[in-house]
Amino acid sequence: MKLRVAVLYGGRSGEHEISLRSAEAVIAAMDPAKYQVERILITQEGRWDPRAISPDPGANPGIDVVFPVLHGTFGEDGTVQGLLDLANLPYVGAGVLASAVSMDKEIMKRLCAERDLPVADYVTVNRGAANLDEICASIPFPMFVKPANLGSSVGISKVKSYDELKTAIEFAGRFDRKVIVERGIAGREFECSVLGNRDPQAAIPCEVLPSREFYDYEDKYILGTSKTVLPADLSPEQTSEVQRLAVACYQAVECEGMARVDFLLETATGKFFINEINTIPGFTSISMYPKMWEAAGLPYAALIDRLIQLALERHQERQTTAYRIDAGQ
């Protein structure tokens, strides 16, 4: 019997279009002999497909597992994961906690720092309440200004002067009430895919070569002029360090299923810094998460199989735990 997979995609975030493209790639990779796909589209206005998921346990008999392909807020931040937990449905990817803290760049950095993992110096400001002088006293130029809760490099600015800082914070504030200002790291950019539940594994890292000053939204999805190097041009020791840090970051936020961890390698010090973790990385035709696993010997279709298997395994484990709690054992 085919496994009935509900692919949940679209959503209200600024990454709606990327979600559509990722979902089509995921669906195309699913073996029709194994899976019966049910599409569930969420519009940019937040309207759900009439066949949408009910939060009532047992009210979704046509679904065996959910594959959320929702990037950014209202999909990758724990909100949808909470709905799926209420519905008692297995789903691909991180749970509520890991999704929420990974989406919030400040909380992610705090958790990494608590485990002595390297992150760039930063300050956090609230929209409309930033003290520019205090920021400049803490962080040297150039700076990167980012919305705390968003992905795909949306709303990010590289700031080189005091005059640019206010504009950059206002721009980032259009996407989130909390804004992160980070020390700019001069160096190279890398990504590393991680896969697994209790025993996560890291794939072969890749290097990103932006065509612009930094790897922004247009460079990623519109211009198509950035390049990637896979496998990354790193020494064996550097490769092992990226993989170690990727898994350590993944575990620090208690991630499960999948994530892509992004890094900066500072030229001046030769030190790697964890930039961010994405719990629902892109799955488009140009996305590096599946490409890194393919380079590690796990093709796209097999990766989809593995992600669904991990979702079912985690759900089964949680069912056993829930039964013990309910039974007072």
Known active-site residue 285: no
Residue 118: cis peptide before it, omega within 30 degrees of 0: no
Among candidate residues 9, 10, 12, 15, the one labeled active-site is 15
148: left (phi over 0), alpha (psi -120 to 50) or beta: alpha
Q: Which of 149, 193, 278, 287 is catalytic?
A: 278
| Distance, CA of 206 to chain centre | 16
* 60 assigned to active site: no
Catalytic residue, chosen from 260, 287, 289, 314, is 260
Environment class of residue 7 by beta-carbon count within 10 Å: exposed (0-12), middle (13-18) or buried (19+)?
buried
Active site residue 262: yes
The yes-or-no answer on residue 282 being catalytic is yes
Task: Return phi, psi of residue 104, to 5°.
Answer: -85, 105
The catalytically annotated residue of 152, 157, 193, 287 is: 152
| DSSP string of 223-253, one letter each residue | S---EEESS-S--HHHHHHHHHHHHHHHHHT
Look up residue 147 and give its two tokens.
């919305």
Q: Which of 189, 219, 276, 305 is catalytic?
A: 276
Is 326 marked active-site?
no
Sign of CA dihedral 99, 285, 38, 73: positive
From the list 262, 287, 294, 300, the catalytic residue is 262
What's the rounded Cα separation, in Å, for the pair 311 and 92?
5
Where helices occur in the chain by DSSP H, the ranges are 16-29, 79-86, 96-103, 105-114, 132-138, 162-173, 217, 236-252, 288-295, 300-326
Using CA atoms, how far apart are residues 57 and 326, in angstroms rounded to an integer? 15
| Catalytic choice (14, 157, 282, 314) | 282
Burial of 241 (0-12, 13-18, 19+ CB in 10 A): middle
Give the Cα separation of 221 and 286 in Å (integer). Answer: 9
Give backbone dihedrals phi and psi of 125, rounded to 5 degrees, phi first: -130, 155
Question: Is 35 among the catalytic positions?
Answer: no
Which residues are part of the catalytic machinery? 15, 152, 221, 260, 262, 276, 278, 282
